[in-house]
Amino acid sequence: MNIGILGGTFNPPHIGHLIVAEHVRTELALDRILFIPAATPPHKVNDGIIDAHHRVQMLRLATQGNPHVDVAEIEIARGGVSYTADTLQQLHVEHPSDQFFLLIGMDNLLEFHTWRSPEAILELATVVVMTRPGFAPHDVPAAMREKVVICPVPEIDIASRQIRKRVAEGKSIRYLVPDSVREYITRFELYRAVPDRH
């Protein structure tokens, strides 16, 4: 199978994540999209990242009903800092007949050289670069252009930190996240205790 990998903190997952994942899946004719929430992301300050259990539950709620999507706890089960190269290596061991497509944003590509084992990542997966507002395909470094696939996606200016801030301020997040995720955040009073600082 051809499997798209979308990693992140998903703190919380929002409709932007869902829209771009489904868009790439259909554009590249992928069989499945695998959402992989990070245990501890290497490139983010960890203040404000809630317990992994809640992030997984919200992802499952957000993606329920889509037969082409799964949520994998591979990085959370492994613990520690979540490195993409380690995750792809593990996936290859567990699913040797599958082909993997790593979905990243254009902003991530510009920092790709700072990731652990970037050359190994390029060998383990086809890197699919999703366009982002403010970035254009010609922003891809020349050395990377032949190594990645550019996939234009709808421009959706929603960020998890924006959602956390709105919750902390008591503002509505309706339509920014699926209703099931909004209800979960309300039920467990997530993001309310400490206003987000990032």
Q: What is the largest CA-CA distance in the chain?
A: 48
pTM exceeds 0.85 for this model: yes
- Rounded CA gap, 130 and 31, in Å? 18
Please tell me the predicted confidence (pLDDT) of residue 195. 45
Please tell me the predicted confidence (pLDDT) of residue 144. 82
3-state secondary structure the chain: CEEEEEEECCCCCCHHHHHHHHHHHHHCCCCEEEEEECCECCCCCCCCCCCHHHHHHHHHHHHCCCCCEEECCHHHHHCCECCHHHHHHHHHHHCCCCEEEEEEEHHHHCCHHHCCCHHHHHHHCEEEEECCCCCCHHHCCHHHCCCEEEECCCCCCCCHHHHHHHHHCCCCCECCECHHHHHHHHHCCCCCCCCCCC
All structural domains of the chain with their residue ranges: 2-157
Please tell me the predicted confidence (pLDDT) of residue 174. 98
Please tell me the predicted confidence (pLDDT) of residue 83. 96
- 77: tokens are 């089960």
- Rounded CA gap, 17 and 3, in Å? 16
Going residue by residue through the chain, which has 198 residues, state the pLDDT in tens, using 9 for 90 and above: 999 999 999 999 999 999 999 999 999 999 999 999 999 888 766 667 999 999 999 999 999 999 999 999 999 999 999 999 999 999 999 999 999 999 999 888 888 989 999 999 999 999 999 987 777 777 777 778 889 999 999 989 899 999 999 999 999 999 999 999 999 999 999 999 654 444
> How many residues are present in the chain?
198
Q: Which of 160, 187, 155 is nearest to 173 (CA)?
A: 160
In terms of CATH architecture, what is 2-157?
3-Layer(aba) Sandwich (3.40)
Sign of the dihedral through C-alpha 56, 59, 65, 69: negative
Please tell me the predicted confidence (pLDDT) of residue 44. 65
